[in-house]
Structure 1
Amino acid sequence: MSRIRLALLVSILAIGCTATSDAPPWSPPEAPPPPPREAMYLELEQGDLETADGIMNDTWPARGFPAAKLAWPLTWTEDPYNDAFFRFMFYSLRYTEHLWFAYRATGEERYLEKLHAILRSYIANEKVRPFNRRTIDNEHATAYRVMVLTYLYVKLEKRGSLPPDVGDGLRSSLARMAEYLMDPRRFESWANHGFTQAAALLVLAHNLPELEGASTWRTTGLERLEVMRTTNIDADGVDIENSPFYHMFVLGLVTQIGAWAAEHEPSIAPRWEATKRAMIHYLAYVTYPNGRLPMLGATGTSIVANQDPLIYGPLAAIDPEFAWVWSRGEGGTPPAKRAELFPIAGLFVLRAPKAAPEQTFVTFDSGIYRTDHSHLDALSTTIYSDGAALVPDSGLYTYDRGADYDYFHGTRAHNTVVVDGKDQPEGAARPGAYGVTGNTSWATGESTLYQGVTHRRTVVIIDQGLVLVTDDLASDTPHEYAQTWHFFPGAGLSVDGLDTNVDNIKAVPILLLRQADPEGLSVAHAYGQTNPIQGWVSLAYSKKEPAHAVEYRRYGTHASFATAFVMGRRARSGTPARVRQRLDPVTGERLVTVCAEGSNATVRIRNEGTADASVGVSKGGC
């Protein structure tokens, strides 16, 4: 072989290797095709064979429980686990979508026959059943059922697979449900349910305009959708439920309603587009650096990039900071603001300079309790660092009232100060000042929710892996103040005097918690405690597991805490960590010195908890 031919061959091979080894640049997913008139929600067009095959054997999904084997024929009183979510999904008929999907995917008539059988059973029951708001007449389930049955009616009719008796029964049921939803008492405008209750009227009117009342349903649906858009999403672009999960869920609804409107109600589409863009910003900022949502309010374990790519993926083309979140850092740009306040929601988001999955990241709630999906968690803080939520919220366990609901919804399940062992009442904390100085980001807030008690908290990310939280509580009468901290499930924990040391699941030190001013301070530890309930976390709905919690307690008319969180390599270094505080006798400022590996810092806090607050960090003091 000549040298020229050999050189040419080597060049070709080199080019080929380069082409195959270099991954193409990341780009956001393309938007799906415009939605058909009968499918405002994309889930109606989706499904899976596994769920369909389960229903063929009368086995129905049950989130948080084993799949439920139900007797056939259905009685329409089913509630195998006494669970609100099962009732909602079953009585909305949402699972029947999978049978239609399986029929379209395989062409097997057995799926269509089962769907017909379920619809006939439902129609027969409609003629004789009593009113039951707990199950089939739940307003949210009814609205989704209108969406599902409208979709199935149109699809079956187009395919010539709608038997006359089924068609007549569905039209009768849909008309009756529309009139039920028209009742203003059935419009839950204070929660995300109202979006679907309004949308159902609009979709039904568009697809069965021959039904008596359809014109009025359309008008009412449009009016109520505007109510939802303007009252359930605040001027910051934040869903009012104080739950990152429900914000993400409502963003999905807003995105789908806007896409449907662009095709079928174009006059309202621009307003929904603007709302969608505002909501994307909050989701980009509230998401932890590992792509998970903090479990604030009614939020369980949620990974942003695992959501439906047809709905959420195209949003990455709109906002480069959301593109960073959606792509897990492969595209877009990291959120630029290291201290961000959503003032109406009252939520601060703080982050260290390092834009990576290890970045230290803090949420700090100084806002208002707004709906039942909010928790009683004023001035609560979560801390993420080194790839995990080290000091998380306890999560969502159940919607059903009882002792477990009271705990997970209540104050002692959150990282704040509990007064006299009681829950905070519903109400509002107030965000104060916030800012960034060098590597430091900080925020401060105030709460007077406990009667006669003023609580001021300041949260400072001094640097990567180093966080300071200070609390000042004052009252005219003495109280017990319990500064409460919850740790991630699987953590190893030891308490040495007042020092709390936390290891990861591999028994490697990951977090040191240190307190200033030991005089008069005591500590209590809980792990899976049942009376009173303390030391639990719920990563998934209806599932809970023990997790370590500590309560630092003081008693008196005044209590002050200064708590340092030393994380990651700083916790593993072997360098002793300590924290001291004092008041400047001249200025009255709080001076807190934090000593740890790589840190010799004094934090100066002025006018804590107020709009005039300031925080400065200087070297020295150790």
Structure 2
Amino acid sequence: MSQKTKWVIVRTLIDKAGSLAAAKAQFIRKRYSWRLGTWLWFGITSIHQLLNTIVSKYDRPVIDTERLRRLWSPPYPIYPRYPQLVKEDEEWHGDEDLLAAGEAIIYGGYRLHLSALPDQSTDPSEGWDNTPRFHFHTLHWLSLILDYAIRHHRREVMAWLLGILTRWLPTQLDRETNDWIWDDHITALRCIVLCQCWLRLREIDHDDSQLSKIAGMIHRHAERLTHPWFYRSDHNHGVTQAYALLIAGLVIPLWSRASQWVSLGRARLEAQMATNVTDEGIHIEHSPFYHCYVLDQFLAAVDLSAAYDTPFSTSFLERLQSMCQAVQIFIKPDGRLAAFGDTSCNSFVSPRVQQAVFEVETKLTMGNGQPGAGSSMLPSQLFPQSGYALLRTSAEQAQLAHTCLVRLSTFSTAHIHRDTLSFEYMIGDREIVVDAGGPYEYGHREREWFLSSMAHNTVVVDGLDHRIGRSAILHWTVRENEIGLGLERIEAGARIRRTFVLLPSRGLCVVDWLASDVLHRFQQRTHLAPLLSIVPQAAQNGVWHVDGESVRLAMAAHIVCDPDTCQEHQPIRVERGWRCVGNRQKQSVPVMVLEAKGAHVGFGLCIMRAADSQSPNSRPLLWHTTESGMCLTIETDDQSMTLHFDPDGSYQVFGRSPSSPHLFDSNKP
């Protein structure tokens, strides 16, 4: 064994032992003592960093030059894709004048001095916001600029970038006390970028020593990704880690363990699909955006494995197709993703996911970075395993269709918002009820509000967040005259029964029955779209008229409070809330709040599209209390309809129209 080979082994053992000890310290910090765990972590990582600095003087990648040159001769069957979190023009702004001056503007508007960075030993992202700092350390911006420089023969730019890779980056990888360097997600993404850069170098005149340094860093990243304590089996980060291992082993088979990286990466991807994607094809990480992000990586892994003749299992491919079909659940009629969990109203969906969904007969609008409205939208469906319900009326004209997506459950995974029973509602392609979404910014203090139950369209008990868990489904009804859903869950010792009734060509009713043995303060919170404005004077008649750019609504709210247990009955009011529209960007929205303090309380809310000719002083909706529950009467020009809601979560619909003068009962066949 050569001296150089021994130093490579020493480096690997130091990384393995140091990282394992640091992981144990993190466990102590989270589970037992924050102070003790922090002290141990800092001491261990400092020693690890010192040893790495010493070994760096002797460690050199062991790559046979002849073998290295032979690897360049055959064409690679496929170029590995980077799993995009944002659009590429957000990661690097593409300013050619700045680039000529040796500078670049990357995510968040931060400026980098590319020409000076290779000779620095500091982290230029210190002091940046969390999200731009994350994107900086993935180095995807470097891969984008390198592609540009190669296409346009910008040799001076290539020299700066190679200097960053081979001189600046090695000094950063030894900084174990910097949490950003070896973050589990950043490590995987940076490994993919290093593999991309290694492949790109074949297109230009390259220095074998520079190539060897990059290959050595890929080896170091891949070895860390193999360790079980570093792997996130219940997280989308684990998908990225497995995908990076697959790339490192397939695309750059320089090392003896490359085949093991391939086997381990594929096995972990298979396990992620089997464990974290339901039989209904939905990823359980609470977010339409992360469903699409994980799907993008699964698709890329399948393409890569097929090109290298190492295919995935049949069960993996079948569930992958189900994931593509499930994207239709989250696409709203305006072409954007439903803003549940850490999904904002402007969340990005990769072109590859759009193409895959198109291939399973979901019509998409291509070229704008987001899925578009399809001509054949999914009908109403219940997804109990995944925790969603889609209520959608059919209409000959798309602008008359009503769509409501409901969150049924939360799971003990990542990106948890306390948003059970929350919903979004649209009429045609117009947003009516919106969710706050997220993430706003990871690590930011305001993110805590976006995670809370107060930020969502649900019932809040004593101002507390909802627990994690499933809601019981009381009933699910799909008929020509209505679509109904009944749910039940326990929060803070109070039983909540929520009923949704979607009426074709009319609107949506949401009724909550709340019961407990002790007094609680209950709130029903409903966030309206930001472009809607409530006409205040109309509320005096019991009907709130809401005007938008292309829609007029009539809203009626009702509170039932048991006189024997009711202590306080707040008037219906409108507050200001927020929804996430991007990184550290939020938009003000009106929030309808129904509030009462008691042991037995009922809330009723109806949102109906109003006729353009309807007077603001008319009363098309009328709530009233009955001995057994509450009733809502809906009056239109040609029909009268009454809905009766019982405290057990059930409901009945009665109506009379000129074409059918006899009373009908929706609960009878």
Q: Are residue 176 (structure 1) and residue 176 (structure 2) matched?
A: no
Distance 1:430 1:58, change over 3 A: farther
Structure 2 distance, partners of 1:482, 1:70, is 52
CA distance in 2, matches of 1:160, 1:577: 72
Query: 1:435-462: CA deviations, max 9, x gaps?
Result: 22214212121111x2211101111111
**Distance change in 2, residues 1:255/1:581 (3 Å):** farther
Q: Which residue of structure 1 lines up, in the alignment, with residue 304 of structure 2?
A: 260
- For residue 468 of structure 1, what is the aligned residue in structure 2? 509
Q: Identify which of 517, 522, 539 aligns with 2:581.
A: 539
Task: Pick one of 587, 602, 621 that aligns with 1:578.
Answer: 621
Equivalents in 2 of 1:120, 1:525: separation in Å?
A: 58
Instruction: Describe the shift of the 1:559–1:130 C-alpha distance in structure 2 as closer, same or farther (beyond 3 A).
Output: same
Structure 1-normalised TM-score? 0.82
Output one character per residue of 1:113-147: Cα deviation in whole Å (capped at 9) or x when no partner.
Answer: 232122123344147x3214631111111111111
Does residue 219 (structure 1) correspond to residue 259 (structure 2)? The answer is no
Q: What is the aligned partner in structure 2 of residue 602 from structure 1? A: 642
Query: One-letter code of the match for 1:84?
Result: N
Answering whether residue 122 of structure 2 is matched by residue 88 of structure 1, we say no
Moved more, 344-353 or 215-224: 215-224
CA distance in 2, matches of 1:403, 1:43: 26
CA distance in 2 between partners of 1:571 and 1:561 (Å):
29
Q: How far has the Cα of 1:35 moved from its partner?
A: 8.5
Match of 2:243 among 192, 199, 204: 199
Q: What amino acid does structure 2 have at the position aligned with 1:578?
A: L
Instruction: Identify the range of structure 1 (325-334 vs 186-195) with the bigger mean alpha-carbon deviation.
Output: 325-334
Q: Does 1:119 find its partner at 2:165?
A: yes
What is the CA–CA distance in structure 2 between the aligned matches of 1:261 and 1:310, rounded to whole Å?
Answer: 16
Unmatched tracts of structure 2, length 5 or more: 1-74, 562-568, 658-662, 664-669
Identity %: 22
C-alpha distance in structure 2 between counterparts of 1:139 and 1:133, whole Å: 13
Q: How many residues align?
A: 563
1:618 is matched by which residue type in structure 2? G
The match for 1:456 among 474, 497, 500 is: 497
Indicate the residue corresponding to 2:571 in structure 1. 522
SS at match of 1:196: helix
SS at match of 1:266: coil
Is structure 2 residue 524 aligned with structure 1 residue 489? no
Report if aligned partners of 2:93, 2:105 keep a CA contact under 8 Å in 1: no
Matched ranges for 1:280-295 at <5 A? 280-295=324-339
In 2, the alpha carbon distance for the partners of 1:52 and 1:255 equals 31
1:388 aligns with 2:425: no
Q: CA deviation at 1:415?
A: 0.7
Residue 400 and residue 99 in structure 1: after superposition, are their counterparts in 2 closer, same or farther (change >3 A)?
A: closer
CA RMSD of aligned residues (A): 3.2
* Residues 485, 35 of structure 1: alpha-carbon distance in 2 compared, 3 angstrom cutoff: farther
Q: Does 1:565 align with 2:610?
A: no
**3-state secondary structure, aligned to 2:377:** coil
SS in 2 for 1:95: helix
Indicate whether 1:187 and 2:224 are aligned: no
Deviations 1:558-615 (A, max 9, x none): 11012110225369554423232445x6xx5764333356552122456855xxx565
Deviation at 1:341, TM superposition (A): 1.0
1:414 Cα deviation after fit: 0.6
Higher relative contact order by CA 8 Å / sep ≥ 6: 1 or 2?
1
Deviation digits for residues 339-395 of structure 1 (CA, Å, limit 9, x no counterpart): 211111221111122251452111111112343323101111211114221110012
> Cα deviations across residues 534-562 of structure 1 (Å, max 9, x unaligned)?
x1222122101322112111110011012
- Closer, same or farther: CA 357–86 of 1 in aligned 2, 3 Å: farther
Aligned partners of 1:420 and 1:480 also within 8 Å: yes
Structure 1 partner of 2:66 = none
Distance 1:155 1:205 in 2: 17
Correspondence for 2:198 = 153
Following superposition, the deviation at residue 286 of structure 1 comes to: 2.5
Aligned partner letter, 2:620: A
> How far apart in 2 are the matches of 1:35 and 1:470?
59
Per-residue deviation, 1:160: 4.7
User: 1:436 and 2:478 equivalent?
Assistant: yes
Change (3 A) 1:308 1:399: closer
Candidates 122, 125, 129, aligned match of 1:79: 125
Contact between 2:325 and 2:357, CA under 8 Å: does it hold in 1? Answer: no
Q: Which residue in the other structure is 2:292 paired with?
A: 248
CA distance in structure 1 between the aligned counterparts of 2:603 and 2:304, rounded to whole angstroms: 52
Contact 1:564 1:579 in 2 (8 A): no
Q: Which runs of 5+ in 1 are unaligned?
A: 1-33, 528-534
Q: Which residue of 1 aligns with 2:487?
A: 445
1:26 is matched with which residue? none
Report what 2:44 is aligned to: none
Q: What SS does the aligned partner of 2:235 have?
A: coil
TM-score (norm 2): 0.77
Amino acid at match of 2:619: P
Instruction: Give the Cα separation in 1 of the matches to 2:373 and 2:438.
Output: 31
